[in-house]
Structures are given as C-alpha cells and as structure tokens.
Amino acid sequence: MLTLYYAAHTCALASHIALRDAGATFALQRIDFGITEQQSPAYLEINPKGRVPALVTPRGILTETPAMLAYIAQSFPEAALAPLDDPFAFAQLQSFNSYLCSTLHVAHAHRMRGHRWVDDPAAIAAMQRKVPQSVSACFDLIERDMLKGPWVMGESYTIADPYLFTLAQWLEADGVDPHRIPRVIAHRSRMAALPHVSAAIVAELAD
C-alpha cells in the first residue's frame, strides 16, 4: 500500500496524477500548511525536510518529485509512463524533470518563499520582483527547446507531463505572459481535459 502525503496547490499534484495514471492503489494524507503541519513532529518523522510530497512505500519513504515519479513509472511498467527499456530516453526524461525541480520550481518559490534564502525584507522584495523574468525564462526554454510534441517527450505521455502541468498552473501568478508560450498552454489544456487529472484536483480540494 502506498500513501501520498500532500498539500493542495503544491507539486505533490504531479505524483498524485501519476499514481492514478499507473492504476496504483494508494491513500492520500493531507498536510495542512495553514497550521504549519509540515513542521509538526509527527510529519517530520516522515519527511525531515518539512515539505511535501512524501510517498510511503513498502520499502520506505521517498521524497523529491523526480524520484517519486520515476519510482511510480518503474513500479507499474504496464502503465507505460516512461521509456524504461531505453536508457538514453529515460535519462532525457529524468533531465526534463530535474530541470523542473531544480530550476523552474526554485525560481517560482522566490515569489512566496524568499525567507529560505535571505532574511532582509528588501532582499526578499527584490527576489519577488525578479520572479516574472526568471520564471518566464524557464518557460521560454521549455517552449522553444524542451517540449517535443503534444506531450513533453513527443508522441507518448510520460511522468513528465503531470509535472509540467502542475508547475504550469502557477505561471500567470508568477507574472508569465501565457501568449509567449502557446505550446506550453496547449499542453496545459490537453492535460486538464484528462480524467485522471481532474479527479486528482477534485480529490485534493475536497479532502
């Protein structure tokens, strides 16, 4: 049995969608950021990083979205969520997801989480002003060079698609002009129409 610890409106949605895509049996456990439950002793026992998502598996606990997505794809190969028989293609997929995790998501976090890097209010404000530029640059690169087709990797849907969809939901709030990235916006719309995506969103908002 798998248990996904999540909070609504976070990158946990990517793993949630992937679990549904895989046909996995899993439970959801919501972490309430409103009461800083992510810093509670009980949750820190699960994820000492104090963040979501975390995935409890029969072999232990996983954190970090790229690792969790790869685990889901490899644990449910019949769902064909990654090119598992092609080492280079799988590495390309991991490269894309790593970019979302290490660069795009970090740029986005500067809008609300500046305290992770600095304490000076003026410095935090300066980082926030930079977000439209830095996040736009990330999406420009994805639009121009990284999005290969109707799906991230081309003709086949993979674990990269729910991850890009999740981060693309925040781009307007980050100050990105959607008209400059029509392929990303089309991908977001294509994802939103999928039953597993809408079911995951409804479940997270209703829980």
Among the CATH numbers 3.30.420.40, 3.40.30.10, 3.40.109.10, 3.30.360.10, which is that of 2-80+197-206? 3.40.30.10
Task: List the chain domain ranges.
Answer: 2-80+197-206, 87-194
Q: Residue 30 in 3-state DSSP?
A: strand
Query: How far apart (Å, rounded) are the C-alpha atoms in residues 123 and 115?
Result: 9
> Mind listing the pLDDT tens digit for each residue in 113-130?
888 899 999 999 999 999
> Mind listing the pLDDT tens digit for each residue in 73-118?
999 999 999 999 999 999 999 999 999 999 999 999 999 888 889 9
The distance from CA 124 to its chain's CA centroid, rounded to whole angstroms, is: 24
Among the CATH numbers 2.30.30.20, 3.20.20.70, 1.20.1050.10, 3.30.70.260, which is that of 87-194? 1.20.1050.10
Query: How far apart (Å, rounded) are the C-alpha atoms in residues 191 and 81?
Result: 14
